[in-house]
Chain A
Amino acid sequence: MEAQAAGAKPVHGRWRHMLESRRVLAPLLIAPAVVFMALVVGVPFAWAVYLSFTNAIGGSLTGDWVGFENFTTAWHDDNFRRALRNTLIFTFASQAIVLVCAAVLSNFLVRNFRGKWFIRFFVVLPWAAPVVLSTIAWLWLLDSLYSVVNWSLARLHLDNGLVWLLSAVNLEEDAQVPLQWLGRPNLALIAVTLVHAWRILPFAVVIFIAGRASIPNEVEDAAKIDGATGVKKLWYVDIPLQLPIALVAVLFGIVFTAVDFAVVYLLTRGGPFNSTQVLPTWAYAIGIDGGSLGEGAAISLFLFPLLVVVSVAMLFFARRAQVS
């Protein structure tokens, strides 16, 4: 097709010709982004990797080389392992919720119904509020004494039932009324997961809808002519077409949650008894507040290979999906 393009029109000089060539144009277009990223993140990242192999303390950017000691120290700490586990739980549980809800919600939101403007406005609100502030709002909603959630549950006479349910499914055996959402380990896990899902859901919905918007009408029309409707159309037409974008949404959802610091730091500070720490908050507690910078750097880097694996797998999957 390049040849076609070049052949269709006489070449106006060498420079112009070069711009038409993939080999020149592609790097030219990618280079600014890559150079910028390499400078602004690449160098500090390399520095963080270096720090994780040193015994640097108290904010100092240099230290003595200690090999993998920081990594092994972290690994042998049960608080670290719990943080690793929690990171995975929060990420995958909240993204599973987001994916399902976003798929359903976006399909209904695009319909034409009375009041659609207000409904959509309400749906995008959580993503519009700065996460720091909306998490502080959640802190108030789940307050140990003033929780409006508990107040409402009590007025609806649902609180005792919920406590019973929690113990029936073995989630919290000795929870009491009013429920301390941030004071019992499993309740706090649930609270943090839901707050993550709450704030990412609008993001996923918007991406889904935008993704749908960029599917050309011709495809829809063709599907109509072929008589594809309902589930069949969803499965054979909508899902394959939306998949590349949906995957991007999921991927970013995963990354947003996995490297997020604000929600846990503000909502539970890792409590109760460090049972909701995640790697970013635990790295911060050890490396910044605790002063063991090298070890903190090592903890924060544990996440990196994991995310690389997830991302590469998903990207690979995305490409396959697109080809077929």
Chain B
Amino acid sequence: MTLRQKSMTYAVVVPFAILLAFPFYFALVTMFKTNLDLANVEHSPYLYNDLEGGFHWDFWNYATTEHVRFLFEDTNYPKWLLNTLLVGAAVVGITLLLAMPAGYALARLAGGWGQTAGVGIFLIYLVPPTLLFLPLSRLITQLDLKDSLWSLILIYPSFTVPFATWLLMGFFKTIPQELEDAALVDGASRLKALYLIILPISLPGILTVVIFAFSLCVNEFIYAFTFISSSEQRTVSAGIPNDLIRGDVFFWQSLMAATLIPAIPLALLYNAFLDRFIKGFTGGAFR
């Protein structure tokens, strides 16, 4: 890259990065603040201050890890993280199992009616979940899954599958038909061609689906709230607002810690995937 291109790049990406990451930077600062420091409007929100609002270079002596400790020891937060991970992993598995064949078929095999079915699958995504939780909670009770993570594992694919099917369909369509035809000419069966040719090439698509299906599971909270009522069985998105906002008190520092902590490993994971995509089309790792 020329110097001009380089400075242009920084001029674009740095402001975006600052804007997008600012809440997390601020969460990082806030989570170690003492109550009296946080509550004083005169104090700088960016620094750890003494009681008079003064800043010292040994600022760690004016910060506290108490609120992070509270989160891990006095709430079920570690349990919620684990539950979220379990539900997310299971749902991602189910999603891929259902969506990959469907996406492939819609992209390659189905004719006019396939498009219709595809649109149909997508439309289901448009059902607002605000009220669906009521009939669904009847279903969950009848299956005797109330208060169990299995209820979420059963219901969550309902919003990940349409999404994944469509995304994969889009990816499958970008793969040149010729590649597949060549394999078929070489005598592979369709399923074998799918497995040997299409899947490796569409790895970016599959990874994208993994990322987003997992994110959607982590984000969901209405079902997580209403299907599960005991604190130990909750996911992060349901447990945190329930236990760390108590009527007239927000546990701000702990809330900030709770936000930041799951975001970091997920962002690392997403970033690793992104890295692969980019390496893939600059270095040809995918083909």
Show the binding face of A for B, using Cβ within 8 Å: 1, 4-5, 8-9, 16, 19-20, 22, 25-30, 32-34, 36-37, 40-45, 47-48, 51, 59, 61, 101, 104-105, 108-113, 117-134, 136-138, 140-141, 145-146, 148, 151, 198, 201-203, 206-207, 209-217, 220, 241, 244-245, 247-248, 251-252, 255, 258-259, 261-262, 266, 279-281, 283-284, 287-288, 293, 296-297, 300-301, 303-304, 307-308, 311-312, 315, 319, 322
B249 nearest CB across to chain A (Å): 13
Q: Using Cβ atoms and an 8 Å threshold, which residues of chain A touch B97?
A: 32
How many residues on chain B are close to A (CB under 8 Å)?
127
Give the Cβ gap from A303 to chain B, nearest Cβ, in Å.
Answer: 6
Q: Are A37 and B45 in contact (CB under 8 A)?
A: no
Q: Do B132 and A140 have beta carbons less than 8 Å apart?
A: no
> Which residues of B does A touch, CB under 8 Å?
1, 5-6, 8-10, 12-14, 16-21, 23-24, 26-27, 30, 38, 41, 44-46, 97-99, 101-102, 104-106, 109-111, 114-115, 117-132, 134-136, 138-139, 154-155, 157-158, 161-163, 165-167, 170-171, 173-176, 181, 184-187, 189-191, 201-202, 204-205, 207-208, 211-212, 215, 218-219, 221-222, 236-237, 240-241, 245, 250, 252, 255-256, 258-260, 262-264, 266-268, 270-271, 273-275, 277-278, 280-282, 284, 286-287
Verify B20–A41 contact, CB threshold 8 A: no
A311 touches B123 (CB 8 A): yes
Nearest neighbor of B136 in chain A, beta-carbon distance? A44
Selected from B1, B21, B208, B271, the residue in CB contact (under 8 A) with A113 is B1
Compute the total of residue contacts between A and B using a CB distance below 8 Å.
356
22 pairs, CB–CB < 8 Å, chain A vs chain B: A1-B181, A28-B101, A29-B104, A44-B139, A47-B135, A48-B135, A61-B135, A105-B12, A108-B8, A113-B10, A128-B270, A129-B263, A136-B241, A137-B24, A140-B250, A140-B256, A209-B277, A217-B284, A245-B170, A287-B130, A304-B126, A311-B122
Q: Which residues of A contact B26 (CB under 8 A)?
A: 137, 141, 148
Name the contact of A283 in the complex, choosing from B115, B128, B240 (C-beta under 8 A).
B128
Enumerate chain B residues within 8 angstroms of A34, measured Cβ to Cβ: 102, 117, 120-121
Chain B, Cβ-Cβ closest to A50: B135
From DSSP, what is the main secondary structure of chain B's interface residues?
A: helix
B123, B186, B255 — most chain A CB neighbours (10 Å): B123
